[in-house]
Amino acid sequence: MQDVVQWLKDNGNLKIIDEALDVELEIPHVAYVEVKKEDSRPILFTNPVNKAKGIEYDMPVLMNIFANKALTEKIFGKHPDAVAEGIEELLKLKPPKTFKAKLAMIPKLFSLKNVFPKRLKFRGECQEIIIPKEEVDLDKLPILKTWEEDGGPFITMGQVYTQSLDGEMQNLGMYRLQQYDKNRLGMHWQIHKDASHFFDQYQKAGKKMPVTVAIGGDPLYIWCGQAPMPHGMFEMLLYGFVRNKNAQLVKSITNDIHIPRDVDIVIEGFVDPELTEIEGPFGDHTGYYTLKEPFPVMDVETITMKKNPVFAATVVGKPPLEDKYMGWATERVFLPMLKPMAPDLIDYNMPENGVFHNLIMAKMKTLYEGHAMQFMHAFWGVGQMSFVKHALFVGEDAPDLEESEALTKHILNRLSPENVFITKGIVDHLDHSSAKQFVGGKLGVDATGEEVEEGVETLLTDSELLEKIQEINANVLELKQYFTETKNPVCVISVNKKKSQLKMIKKLKVLKEHIKVLIIVDKANNDIEDLYMLVWRVVNNIDASRDVVLEPFIAVDATNKGEVDGFEREWPGDTFCTKSVLDDLQKKGLIDIDEKFIKEFGLLPFT
């Protein structure tokens, strides 16, 4: 990754911070603030330290590698749409009919030989240094603790390489890894993920599972690790396809798993199928802490590395963050792979403030009644798309999916309780809103049709409407109406919640002529003027099967749930920065933020 550092200097406007900064909170806070800026930059921290443990590390920490769209595109070496085009071409490949067509196909087929990873017989640069088991000490790696309430330090950009029990299938997944002590890591592969399926096989067979974790190397490995490849397809095939160059793999020293030769650091070990340990809490990419839960544990056998390794890491929390740019590329590249099951799909968009799986907008050509519903079911039934909680479908006449304001108006003009569809399905392992972990509500909106005829009967001003609502419920504190020029203005209210909001919604029936869509959020930590973060909050906080009602109007209870709602799971807290750390970094000139920035992105709690 030394080469990557040089490459980022040349191509990515790399920022270098030489000041000694703590791996606990300080480094993550600097990176967190940076990546929220427009045109944010990758950062190399050359002097990471751990003040509490008295450690000065001998390798730098590299963060925000995917700092913006332009850099992500440069990492790919082409626009992700171009990768998608290549995939689409492959999927549509037909036997050539003429000699000329046969000739034209040769280069395409020839380039396919580059897709398959090559297993090298010799050792890789990543094995220049080999640390034997007795000397393994994970404290020598600058592993970050991002958030104050994190259960410990976590490797956040680990490429986790695993294989099936019979060795036939290989997998690369990006899963976070909690450092427990000098030689044990928690394996946070969630229940629906490939490594978890492999783990089940080892567990049934009562055999130890080999795992190799790699850090660094070509940034495209990192992207491949998070790519939702179908089960059984090794992500290194995708690497070869994008690069048009075989991934070059070398064998791990203590197991049979092969890893890219040029990664910076390799941690090899075995997972005991009988043992789990509490993992977390961890401030996650949902912007909430994921709660403590048992996960398998890896005993480290050896660590190998390059002579001058660089430790790659990322910070997750509230959007926008680095996963915005990785997710953008994923969304583009995977479009052609969705088309075989949804052939009239034109495009889709998963905005980062919907933390990807919480919100999808899709544009399609509708050929028959119920077509959009058919696609919703298809999405909810396939691979990682099935985690999607809320799916909004528009027709081919809709604005571009990235034009969020025009698109929202288009949807609101077509919205009616009749075309809102609520069902249940599997939800992301991290979803906190469903009554039961793993299964929850799904909401689909079919806005592919014509504009609705009926709009709001009598539109009131915000203050008039607030007054009328407060006469019914004094716990409503603020109100703002959005998109009042559409058939379905969205009325957002913030409350000081004392009771279940569903009861209040019923009482608001008398205001039916003034309200078409009502969204309720807690007053604490929500700014009703900040639409970007409101979307983030609402789609995170609701289980549509419980929190969305269609009578007397469309109403969404996006407040935090608890006893008054009959909610029995623990409700997690938001990820917040530590104020003293932000203040200190600001004083040192390492970040430059103001109150507006802090509130806009929910960096600190507010009431």
Ligand X SMILES: Cc1cc2nc3c(=O)[nH]c(=O)nc-3n(C[C@H](O)[C@H](O)[C@H](O)COP(=O)(O)O)c2cc1C
Residues that bind ligand X (CB under 6 A): 171, 173-176, 188-190, 193-195, 225-228, 285, 314, 316, 323, 326, 384
**84 versus 195: smaller Cβ distance to ligand X:** 195
- Cβ-based nearer residue to ligand X, 320 or 489: 320
Closest approach of Cβ 235 to ligand X, in Å? 7
**12/327 with CB nearer ligand X:** 327
Complex with ligand X: residue 117 or 395, whichever CB lies closer: 117
- Residue 186 CB coordination number (10 Å): 26
Query: H or E segment at 535?
Result: helix 531-541
Least distance from C-beta 91 to ligand X, angstroms? 20
Q: Which long-range contacts (CB under 8 A, 24 or more apart) does 478-487 make?
A: 478/523, 478/528, 479/528, 480/528, 480/529, 482/531, 483/408, 483/409, 483/412, 484/459, 485/409, 486/409, 486/412, 486/413, 486/455, 487/412, 487/413, 487/415, 487/451, 487/452, 487/454, 487/455, 487/456, 487/516
Nearer to ligand X by C-beta: 198 or 576?
A: 198
Token digits for 41? Answer: 């930059």
CB 538 within 8 Å of CB 531: no
Q: Which is nearer to ligand X, 83 or 415 (CB)?
A: 83
**To the nearest whole angstrom, how small is the minimum distance from the Cβ of residue 173 to ligand X?**
3
What distance in Å separates the CA atoms of residue 173 and residue 185, rounded to the nearest whole number?
Answer: 15
What is the closest distance, in whole angstroms, from the C-beta atom of residue 189 to ligand X in the complex? 5
| Residues written for the chain | 607
Phi-psi region of 313 (alpha: psi -120 to 50; beta: other; left: phi over 0): beta
Instruction: Report the C-alpha gap between 146 and 149 in whole angstroms.
Output: 9
Q: From the CB of 226, what's the least distance to ligand X, in Å?
A: 4
CB of 525 to ligand X, least distance (A): 23
Specify the DSSP class assigned to residue 586: H
Q: Give 278-307 as a DSSP string.
A: EE--EE-TTSBEEPPEEEEEEEEEEEEE-S
Question: CB 397 → ligand X: shortest distance, Å?
Answer: 33
Is-contact 374 393, C-beta < 8 A?
no
Nearer to ligand X, 132 or 230 (CB): 230
Nearer to ligand X among residue 314 and residue 349 (C-beta): 314
Amino acid in position 85: E
Q: How far is the CB of 348 from ligand X (least distance, A)?
A: 17
Q: Which is nearer to ligand X, 309 or 317 (CB)?
A: 317
User: Is the CB of 395 or the CB of 425 nearer to ligand X?
Assistant: 425
Per DSSP, the three-state class of 364 is strand
- CB of 120: closest distance to ligand X in angstroms? 23
| CB contact at 8 A, 361 and 407 | yes
Instruction: Tell me whether residue 176 or residue 251 sits nearer to ligand X (CB atom).
Output: 176
Burial of 308 (0-12, 13-18, 19+ CB in 10 A): middle
CB 502 within 8 A of CB 557: yes
In 3D space, the residue among 66, 45, 65, 67 whose CA is nearest the CA of residue 56 turns out to be: 45
Q: Cβ neighbours of residue 477 under 8 Å, at least 6 residues apart?
A: 493, 494, 495, 496, 523
**Which amino acid, one-letter code, is at 605?**
P
DSSP state of 271: E
Least distance in angstroms from the C-beta of 44 to ligand X: 19
Compute the distance between CA of residue 296 and CA of residue 274 in angstroms, rounded to an integer: 8
Bridge partners, 276 (sequence order): 296
The answer to whether the beta carbons of residues 54 and 75 sit under 8 Å apart is: no
Distance in Å, CB of 230 to ligand X, minimum: 9
Question: Nearest distance from residue 491's CB to ligand X, in Å?
Answer: 35
Residue 286 vs 486, nearer CB to ligand X:
286
